[in-house]
C-alpha cells in the first residue's frame, strides 16, 4: 500500500498548530439513562486521559468497559454527562466543528451505501467535511488503500477487507492529524491484517497520531508504543507498553527432560508447577523472588537430566487479564 501525505490540519491560527496532546479527557463522565428493560449504565466514571501527539496509542478493555463510549464522545456521536474533552488542543464544546476537523474515525461496524462506488463514497465524505473539490485527493487516497482497481465497482461487490480499507479512506478525506481506528482488522484475514498494520505504521511515520482499539492483543503489542486499559468505565492503566509489560514479574520456565516424565517429583510439588503432555515441566515463578538457576538446581537434584529448557516472558494478554480479572459477562454492551 502506498501512503498519502497528511495535509496541515484545518485548525485556526488561534489554536496551537502542534499541541503536546492529540486527545485529552478531563474527569469525563457518561451515564446512559434507564430504558425499557434496561437499567441506567454508568459507562465512564471520571476518565482522565492524555494521548500524546505522534503516538500509536492502544485503547483496550473488555466488552462494555467504555471504550466505544469514549471514542464516540470525541467523534461527536455521544454527548458526555460531565467533564471536558479536547481534540488537538480545542475543546469539543467551545468549538465542536474546529475540534472534529482534526479527527477521523474508522468505525468498527461496516455501514455504507451498497449502491455507491468507492469513488462516490469518498467524494461524498469529502463534501460532508467541506473539502473544496480542488483540494480533494479521492483517487490518491483510494490508491493508497489499494482500492484504485475497485474505484467504480459497487460497494456491495467488495470483500470485507476491501470495505475496511474503504472505511479508512473515508476517514482520511479531510487529512486529520488524529486517526481513530475502532477494531480495524476485525474479521479480516492474516495477510490483510499485516497490510493494514504496515499502513498504520506508515501513516504514523508521516505525522498522524493513531488511536487503536482492538480485541487482538498481539496487534496492540505489535503496533502501540503507549497503552491505556479501561475497565468498568475507569482507566486502570495508562503507560508505555514496555512499562506495562514490566508490571508482571511472573515468568514461566519450561524444562524438557531427556526422558519423558510420568509425574511430578515429590520434591518439586511445592512449586507452581505442571506437567504437559510431552512430559515437560512447566514452572511458573516470580523473577523478583527466585532465579532460574535455583529452579534448575532443584530439578537436577531430583535426578532429572535436562534435554532442553526455555523461559517465557509475560505478554500483553497476561497484563490485560491481570488488570481486568474482575470482569463479569453481564456488564451490558451499551458502552
Q: What are phi and psi of 211, to 5 degrees?
A: -115, 125
Whether 171 and 256 share a structural domain: no
For position 33, which CATH number holds?
3.40.50.300
Task: Show Cβ contacts of residue 166 under 8 Å, excluding neighbours closer than 6 positions.
Answer: 112, 118, 121, 122, 145, 147, 155, 158
Among residues 24, 26, 28, the alpha carbon closest in space to that of 89 is found at 24
Counting beta carbons within 10 angstroms of the beta carbon of residue 302, is it exposed (0 to 12), middle (13 to 18) or buried (19 or more)?
Answer: middle
Give yes or no for a contact between 150 and 166, defined as CB atoms under 8 angstroms apart: no
For the chain, give the mean pLDDT.
Answer: 85
332: nearest Cα among 79, 41, 33, 107? 41
The count of C-alpha atoms lying within 13 angstroms of the C-alpha of 181, restricted to the half-sphere facing its C-beta, is: 32
- Residue pair 62/56 in contact by the 8 Å Cβ criterion: no
Query: For residue 316, what pLDDT is reported?
Result: 78
Indicate the number of domains in the chain: 2
pLDDT over 90 (residue 199): no
Do 115 and 85 belong together in one domain?
A: yes
Q: Is 331 exposed, middle or buried (0-12, 13-18, 19+ CB in 10 A)?
A: middle
For residues 93 and 136, membership in a common domain is answered with yes
CATH of the domain at 285: 3.30.70
Cβ atoms within 10 Å, residue 316: 21
pLDDT of residue 134: 92
* Residue 292 within any structural domain of the chain: yes
pLDDT digits (tens, 9 = 90+) for 256-291: 999 989 999 999 998 989 999 889 999 988 876 778
Per-residue confidence (pLDDT) for residue 334, from 0 to 100: 43
Q: Which domain holds residue 73?
A: 21-245
Residues 146 and 167 in one domain: yes
Q: Do 254 and 202 fall into the same domain?
A: no
Instruction: Answer yes or no: do 141 and 274 share one domain.
Output: no
Q: 320 in a domain, yes or no?
A: no
Does residue 314 contact residue 251 with C-beta atoms inside 8 Å? yes
Whole-Å CA distances, 98 to 11, 88, 122, 254: 6, 9, 21, 55
Higher-confidence residue of 4 and 122: namely 122
> Measuring CA to CA, how many Å separate 1 from each of 141, 158, 198, 255, 305?
10, 17, 8, 43, 52
Asked if residue 82 is part of any domain, the answer here is yes
Q: How far apart are CA 136 and CA 277, in angstroms?
A: 60
Contact status, residue 30 vs residue 81, Cβ threshold 8 Å: yes
Look at 82 and 5; give whichever has higher pLDDT.
Answer: 82
323 assigned to some structural domain:
no
User: Are residues 102 and 140 part of one domain?
Assistant: yes
* End-to-end CA separation in angstroms for the chain: 33
Neighbouring-strand partners of residue 308: 256
Residue 239 domain-assigned?
Answer: yes
Q: 158: which DSSP letter? A: S
Nearest alpha-carbon partner for 189 in 219, 224, 160, 213: 160
Phi, psi (degrees; rounded to nearest 5) at 307:
-90, -40
Domain assignment present for residue 321? The answer is no
> Over the stretch 112-127, which tens digit does the pLDDT of each residue have?
888 999 999 999 999 9
pLDDT at 246 over 80: no
Same domain, 255 and 206: no
CA distance 227 to 58: 4
Model pLDDT for residues 280-332, shown as the tens digit of each residue: 999 988 876 778 889 999 999 999 999 998 888 777 777 888 777 764 444 44
Cα(312)–Cα(254) distance, integer angstroms: 8
The verdict on 94 and 135 lying in the same domain is: yes
165 lies in the same domain as 268: no
- 61 and 195: one domain? yes
Domain end (from 193, 226, 245): 245
- Final residue of a structural domain among 228, 245, 262: 245
User: How many CB atoms neighbour CB 207 within 10 A?
Assistant: 14
The Cα–Cα gap between 24 and 160 comes to: 32
Which residues make Cβ contacts (< 8 Å) with residue 61, sequence separation at least 6? 67, 229, 230, 231, 324
Per-residue model confidence as pLDDT tens digits over 7-36: 433 333 334 478 999 999 999 999 999 888
**Does residue 69 fall inside a structural domain?**
yes
Amino acid at each position: 500500500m502506498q501512503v498519502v501525505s497528511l495535509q496541515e490540519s484545518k485548525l485556526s491560527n488561534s489554536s496551537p498548530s502542534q499541541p503536546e496532546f492529540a486527545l485529552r479527557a478531563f474527569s469525563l463522565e457518561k451515564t446512559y439513562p434507564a430504558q425499557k428493560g434496561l437499567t441506567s449504565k454508568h459507562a465512564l466514571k471520571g476518565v482522565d486521559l492524555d494521548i500524546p501527539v505522534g503516538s500509536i496509542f492502544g485503547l483496550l478493555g473488555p466488552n462494555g468497559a467504555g471504550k466505544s463510549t469514549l471514542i464516540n464522545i470525541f467523534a461527536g456521536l455521544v454527548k458526555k454527562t460531565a467533564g471536558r474533552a479536547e481534540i488537538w488542543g480545542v475543546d469539543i464544546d467551545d468549538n465542536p466543528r474546529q475540534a472534529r476537523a482534526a479527527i477521523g474515525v474508522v468505525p468498527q461496524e461496516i455501514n455504507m451505501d451498497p449502491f455507491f462506488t468507492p469513488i462516490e463514497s469518498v467524494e461524498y465524505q469529502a463534501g460532508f467535511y467541506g473539502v473544496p473539490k480542488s483540494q480533494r485527493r479521492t483517487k490518491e487516497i483510494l490508491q493508497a488503500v489499494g482500492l484504485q482497481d475497485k474505484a467504480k465497482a459497487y460497494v456491495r461487490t467488495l470483500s470485507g477487507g476491501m470495505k475496511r480499507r474503504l472505511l479508512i479512506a473515508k476517514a482520511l478525506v479531510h487529512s486529520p492529524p488524529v486517526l481513530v481506528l475502532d477494531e480495524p482488522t476485525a474479521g479480516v484475514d492474516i495477510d490483510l491484517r499485516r497490510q493494514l498494520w504496515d499502513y498504520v505504521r506508515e501513516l504514523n511515520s508521516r505525522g498522524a497520531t493513531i488511536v487503536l482499539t482492538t480485541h487482538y492483543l498481539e496487534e496492540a503489542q505489535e503496533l502501540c508504543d503507549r497503552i491505556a486499559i479501561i475497565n468498568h468505565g475507569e482507566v486502570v492503566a495508562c503507560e508505555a507498553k514496555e512499562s506495562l509489560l514490566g508490571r508482571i514479574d511472573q515468568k514461566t520456565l519450561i524444562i524438557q527432560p531427556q526422558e519423558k516424565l510420568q509425574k511430578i517429583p515429590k520434591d518439586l510439588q511445592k512449586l507452581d508447577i505442571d506437567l504437559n503432555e510431552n512430559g515437560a515441566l512447566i514452572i511458573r515463578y516470580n523473577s523478583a523472588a527466585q532465579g532460574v538457576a535455583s529452579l534448575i538446581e532443584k530439578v537436577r537434584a531430583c535426578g532429572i537430566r535436562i534435554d532442553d529448557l526455555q523461559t517465557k516472558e509475560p505478554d500483553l494478554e497476561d497484563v490485560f487479564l491481570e488488570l481486568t480479572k474482575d470482569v463479569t459477562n453481564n456488564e451490558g454492551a451499551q458502552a
